[in-house]
Amino acid sequence: MSHAIGYFVHHQGRGHAERAAAVVNALDASCDVTLFCARTDIFPPLAANVRIQAIPSLFEPPAGHIDRPALAATRTPSTLHCAPLGWPSITSAVATITQWFATADPALFITDVSAELAQLARIASVPCVVVLQHGERSDPGHVAAYESALGILAPYAAALEQTDRPAWMLDKTHYAPGLGVPSTMPDRAEARDTLGLAHDADIVLVVSGGGGTGTPAPPLTIGARAEPDALWLTIGQIEHQWHETAPGNLRHLGWVDDPANYIAAADRIVSSAGDTTVHMIAAAGRPWIVIPEWRYFDEQVFKARALGKAGAAVALDHWPAHAAAWTDAWRRAALIDPADQRALVDATAAQGCARWLETLATHVSCEFSTPVRDAVQ
């Protein structure tokens, strides 16, 4: 059965776009899929039945925008997070989406992620699926989105679920571990050949995210200096400070096109707790230290704690400030079982998610007396 499915994709980083592409490419070709995003250049190749509708950003002021003090000072309801007044860009984005609601007769609208758009879909009488992220999400805005949703999509393993999720949320949650991330990684030797790295080198890889200011350099100088026979490589964004004194075995490579090869080539890994980063490292299976970066709602703090509780990584609350702290963290990381890490990634996550969404869409399109939750389990 043909279904019209809409999908809002946050344009920060690449993780949202990569998992959206994995899902929509796995949907039946009869589905008519529209992706709504502020950027059209961040997606992997998409199936023929998928189109991208560019919309203005919901989170950044339009070019040349000047805040009007009276509007900027207006209180924001507790059920909303990002809803500034007087932004024509948001007005335009919402109009584009609601016009699609009115003309497409959609079976589902998926949001990854915007609590406001989940509520908009409910107000517009359109069934919605909300992507769930880690963090402190018990505020009225997130709860309203989850309550409004027909289903909740968690792009991680149930083993990483937070203990504070209420039963009514879990009852309509579908877990898709490592959605959008390759479940297998390149061979270590092959990856080192590709990157021109020595096979006998002891390589520590530091993976920094792109959603903030980056990983601070001084703790890395301490760690690298304490291991003069190891090669420390960093990829991603690094925040340099005036007092750092980098040793010769620490190399900052910046943004790279093939992070999977660097992860596969590493003997040990230090990373932030971004979703794509976490699942790529879990798929590789390595001694692993995870240190959360600042994100809204403490998303990475909660994810790092979940990884530590699952025995997949050594989770630190802050960067080591002396060599002994690094030594202790590496000692604990050496005890991690790679099998526990690889169990957090499912090779069939995209296909399973697509079948779940198709079942929801079919149920919406038909008149069943069976509750939706029972129909999709």
188-342 and 4-181+346-376 share a CATH fold: yes
Pick the closest to residue 295 from 94, 80, 137, 84 (CA basis).
Answer: 137
The SS3 call for residue 48 is coil
Query: Which amino acid is present at 21?
Result: A
How big is the chain by its Cα radius of gyration, in Å?
22
Extract the tokens encoding 340. Answer: 């526990």
Q: Give percent of the chain above pLDDT 70.
A: 96
Spans in the chain with pLDDT lower than 70: 1, 211, 367-377
pLDDT in tens, 20-67: 999 999 999 999 999 999 999 999 999 999 999 999 999 988 888 888
Instruction: Look at residue 366 in the predicted model and tell me its pLDDT.
Output: 74
Instruction: Look at residue 111 in the predicted model and tell me its pLDDT.
Output: 98
Could you count the other beta carbons within 10 Å of the beta carbon of residue 45?
7
The SS3 call for residue 195 is helix
> CA-to-CA distance for 363 and 150, rounded, in angstroms?
11
Pick the closest to residue 36 from 17, 59, 15, 13 (CA basis).
Answer: 17
pTM of the model: 0.93
Domain locations in the chain? Answer: 4-181+346-376, 188-342
> CA-to-CA distance for 173 and 88, rounded, in angstroms?
35
pLDDT in tens, 93-138: 999 999 999 999 999 999 999 999 999 999 999 999 999 999 999 9
Class of domain 4-181+346-376: alpha beta
In this structure, the dihedral spanned by the alpha carbons of residues 58, 59, 65 and 69, taken in order and rounded to 10 degrees, is 110
Query: Which amino acid is present at 198?
Result: A
113 preceded by a cis bond (ω within 30 of 0): yes
Q: In which element (H, E) is residue 326 found?
A: helix 323-333
Pick the CATH number of 188-342 from 3.40.50.1820, 3.40.50.2000, 1.20.1250.20, 3.40.50.620: 3.40.50.2000
Instruction: Look at residue 211 in the predicted model and tell me its pLDDT.
Output: 67
Pick the closest to residue 224 from 331, 337, 330, 333 (CA basis).
Answer: 330
